[in-house]
Structure 1
Amino acid sequence: MDALSEDLELLPSTRRALSHRLAVAQSEGRAPSVVAAVVRGGEVVWEGSRTSVEGHGPDGDVQYRIGSITKTFTAVLVLRMRDEGLLALSDPLGKHLPGTGADEVTIAQLLAHTGGLAAETPGEWWERTPGTRRPALADVLGEAPFKHAPGTRHHYSNPGYTLLGSLVEALRGKPWEDVLRTEVLEPLGLDRTSAQPQAPHAGGWAVHPWADVILPEPAEDLGLMAPAGQLWSTTRDLARFAVLLTRGDERVLSAESAREMRTSVAPPEPGFADLGYGLGLQLTEHRGRRLFGHSGSLPGFVAGLWLSEADDVAAVVLSNCTSGLPASAVATDLLAIVADAEPRFPAPWKPFTEADRVPLDLCGVWYWGTAPQGLRLKSDGSLELGPVGVPGRSARFRAESDGTWTGLSGYYAGETLRAVRREDGSVSHLDLGSFVFTREPYDPQAPVPGGVDPQGWRGIG
């Protein structure tokens, strides 16, 4: 192996730091047990566990309930159907599942929790009561399902994901659980993820807040609410699922659709410091890193699955206590320990091959008014545009078959960059969403909006 190649094996000091963080979490969180795993480069590179039972410890094959991480699985199913052309994210729910009382809410709004629906079901707490008490969608939504006008704000909604699960069933003609198994779990080899617990599995416990005693929690079948939080899984299965969310897998979901899931769609709720919500994925920042993933909790269990695309590291933490151990915080700490101690090697720089058509006449400095902007061609064929020497808007662009470029990030995401050429083929200027970029500040030879004073640049006097 080349000296600069990245070795997936963790250093002993890093492994010890991970084990120590997990031990502190179990002790201070007073958790009956906790199990964790770290993924780097698409492979599990560390597993750990702690337990209050002497001589016994769970491993990556023991099931725990994962709560709302279930929502991310449901979102994958919906994105699959979108990719097949069965629906559009802009479709109102009523187009495919009429008569729910939420017909006008779009599928995208349900995925991103911007549909305005209530956070919980009416009546008794659904997480601690059997799903048979809510046999129909009307029982899940109630007589007044909306708390906000659809599309006006992010408001986390568990019933919203029940609607998405029912949408899956309506379009596939099969139960949500069956569709999930055949379209996601089996292709990825997630044979330890299921709607009902399968041995070996942990029991759920409540830990008394003021005494070191425990109480068993009931494990209810959530019925129609299953797509919002029913699943049981293991750290090894969730590690494989993390790879899907980062890289995609053509058997299940394309890399492009996985990237779409982790792109911010909804701003955070007021008072929250995170980065909002994508399509079935929470977005946050930890120690200067942008992370995506999801937390989960049901009575007796807490879970956290978090990923850093830039570091190619993911961490999952599962525990069997109702509260006390902050699973997501521990997972983000484990991720940061690896990323800080053993930073990722960048990919080797490679130039274009002779076979590539290199548009060098687009590269270099352009001016938006008087502001210099650097346009750089990357070896993957993308363009990067950003200010020269000062902070400002930066963006990447993807080449299209018609010779234009589409913005992938920042202010220009989705906007079209077009090189406008003269009759002799030379580039006159760049057009970016009506902005004109010229080779000289306010070039009089280019169609600068508003025109250029014919007397040109001058001094004072």
Structure 2
Amino acid sequence: MTSPQDQFSDPSSEPDLLPGTRRALLHRIARAQAEGRAPSLVASVVRGGRQVWSGARTSVDGHGPDDDVQYRVGSITKTFTAVLVMRLRDEGLLRLEDPVERHLPGTGVGEVTVVQLLSHTAGLAAETPGPWWERTPASLRPELRDVLGDRPFRHERGRRHHYSNPGFALLGALVARLRAATWEEVLQQEVLGPLGLHRTSVRPQAPNAGGWAVHPWADVLQPEKVEDLGVMAPAGQLWSTAGDLARFAAFLMNGDDRVLPQESVRDLRTAAAPSGWEESYGLGVQLRRRGDRTLAGHTGSVPGFVAGLWTCEEDDVAAVVLANCTSGVAAGTVAAELVGIVADAEPKLPAPWRPLPDVDQNLLALTGPWYWGTQAVAVRLAAEGGLELGGLGGGGRQSRFCPVGDGTWVGLDAYYAGEELRAVRDDSGQVTHLDLGSFVFTRQPYDEAAPVPGGSDPEGWRGLAI
């Protein structure tokens, strides 16, 4: 028997970007380099898991960078460090709720938890004690106590988002302690090598851009000195290229089982702390709203360099912007706009609908309309074998559920994340109602045959006599 899909050939993957889109991307980075007065700027765009565009602008004719030239990426380093911590979590070597003291004793701030460090909610100071750590030698801060200082806290831990660079120095030391190797060695072995990021390194490797400070009121510049950050390296040391960061951006959207599966990567991108009206922070990952679009990634800056990396999973687009100037170019803003240019001009094609290869009749019997009180909802059978619950027409609370294996399901997202969904059956095996975190869903509003809390009025449904 011929199946429906045998009647047509599968469409090929989406083509490279259209000429008009490529021109719009080039125009945007040209404006950014000119208006930001950057000595050079390079950018890349990812779609469908691969780099589909790169471009550059420079102040030196005939000497433009390409996507293989290294720039310093500043705090994008924090996302790499977070990936290492999540690998430890996945292996069971730590829990995110663990106090740091359990794994890294003697810091003096050991009551803070791993997740508080990852989400910048530990209450630690934003910077190290003076002098300015990004422009002075690491030899001034050889130990963790030197980056934490005598007064490490600025806020009560767990109460607010307060960005902390020393917090990621602690996380880097935690990784090194549990792996019995340096943070740099672990990063190379567990992330850079497996993902093929051969042009990402702790110290610059030619070809690399030099960092510059551009005078704010005159078109002149001077070189910025590059310092090794020492124990602060996990907060902002890395050098990388637009090509390598494009591959890293694809990983942040799709995961890679050699490093972190997609589920764990989504944990990185799940909001853990609000940082503004339209911004929040996950675990080593910044989150930003631009209109209806949710972006995940990180920005970075160190003297001489600015960087931005944003991904948008729903549009399957990511963008990277790197420039070698201390200020002037809002690299994060430009990267976000590159995502928008591609997503708006060439919207993601929906995956073709395909029927399920097989269906569990017990699951199929749960689909259709249910009622929570008088509110109508629908249960749908998802392609992955789980269930989806939401209001009719797409409104109300929407959540996905995956099977646990004992006849129950657990919520994956939104309001019911982590909540248990259970189909309750009578003696004959027929489903009488659904129980979801104490909420009873019935086939009829306030079904008399189901244990609806508060019961049903004995006189039933009736009109209002006038």
Contact 1:39 1:314 in 2 (8 A): yes
SS in 1 for 2:274: coil
Q: Distance in 2 between matches of 1:19 and 1:433?
A: 51
The one of 80, 85, 109 aligned to 2:116: 109
C-alpha separation in 2, matches of 1:325 and 1:416: 48
Counterpart CA distance in 1 for 2:149 and 2:242 is 36
1:152 aligns with 2:123: no
Asked if 2 retains the 8 angstrom alpha-carbon contact of 1:114 and 1:154, the reply is yes
Q: How many angstroms apart in 1 are the aligned matches of 2:332 and 2:109?
A: 32
Distance of 1:119 and 1:226 partners within structure 2: 15
1:362-377 → structure 2 map (5 Å cutoff): 362-377=366-381
Deviations 1:54-111 (A, max 9, x none): 1110001100000000000000000011111111111100000011111111101111
Task: State whether residues 205 and 321 of structure 1, in contact with CA within 8 Å, keep that contact through their aligned partners in structure 2.
Answer: yes
Contact persistence 1:397–1:405 (CA under 8 A): yes
1:433 aligns with 2:429: no
Residue in structure 2 matching 1:289, options 281, 288, 293: 293
Output the CA distance in 2 between the equivalents of 1:167 and 1:397: 34
Deviation at 1:155, TM superposition (A): 0.9
Give the corresponding residue for 2:5: none
Aligned twin of 1:44: 51
Query: Are 2:277 and 1:273 equivalent residues in the alignment?
Result: yes
Matched, 1:73 2:80: yes
2:311 corresponds, among 293, 303, 307, to 307
Shift in Å, 1:183: 1.0
SS in 2 for 1:318: strand
In 1, Cα distance between equivalents of 2:386 and 2:216: 54
**TM-score for the superposition, normalised by structure 2:** 0.96
Letter in 2 for 1:32: P
283-292 or 3-12, which deviates more: 3-12
Provide, for residues 9-62 of structure 1, a one-character-per-residue CA deviation record: whole Å limited to 9, x for no partner. 111111111111110110111110000000111111001000000111000110
Q: Percent identity?
A: 66
Output the amino acid matched with 1:212: D
| C-alpha contact 1:264 1:275 (8 A) present in aligned 2 | no
Distance in 1 separating the partners of 2:277 and 2:55? 30
Aligned partners of 1:77 and 1:180 also within 8 Å? yes
In structure 2, what is the equivalent of residue 333 of structure 1?
337
RMSD: 1.4
1:60-459 aligned within 5 A: 60-268=67-275, 272-354=276-358, 356=360, 359-389=363-393, 391-459=395-463
Residue segments in structure 1 that go unaligned for 5+ positions in a row:
none
Amino acid across the alignment from 1:209: P
Are the aligned partners of 1:4 and 1:345 in contact in 2 as well (CA < 8 Å)?
no
Deviation at 1:392, TM superposition (A): 2.1
SS in structure 2 of the partner of residue 405 of structure 1: strand
Structure 2 residue identity aligned to 1:418? R
**Is the partner of 1:296 in helix, strand or coil?**
strand
Q: Distance in 2 between matches of 1:8 and 1:241?
A: 21
- Counterpart secondary structure, 1:279: coil
Structure 1 position 355, deviation (Å)? 5.9
Structure 2: gaps spanning 5 or more residues: 1-7
Residues 428, 108 of structure 1: CA spacing in aligned structure 2 closer, same or farther, 3 A cutoff? Answer: same
Match of 1:359, SS state, is helix
The equivalent of 2:3 in structure 1 is: none
C-alpha distance in structure 2 between counterparts of 1:333 and 1:36, whole Å = 12
Secondary structure of 1:58's match?
coil
Provide the TM-score with structure 1 as the length reference. 0.97
Tell me the secondary structure at the aligned position of residue 333 of structure 2.
helix
Shift of 1:275: 3.6
Total equivalences in the alignment: 458
Distance 1:164 1:330, change over 3 A: same
Report the CA distance between 1:273 and its aligned residue. Answer: 2.8
Counterparts of 2:403 and 2:177, CA distance in 1: 38
What secondary structure sits across from 2:306 in the alignment?
Answer: strand
Find the aligned partners of 1:14 and 1:5 in 2 and give their Cα distance: 20
CA distance in 1, matches of 2:421, 2:60: 61
- The CA deviation string for residues 205-261 of structure 1, in whole angstroms up to 9 with x for no partner, is 111111111111111000110000000000111111112111111111111111111
Report SS of the residue matched to 2:131: coil
Q: CA deviation at 1:8?
A: 3.2
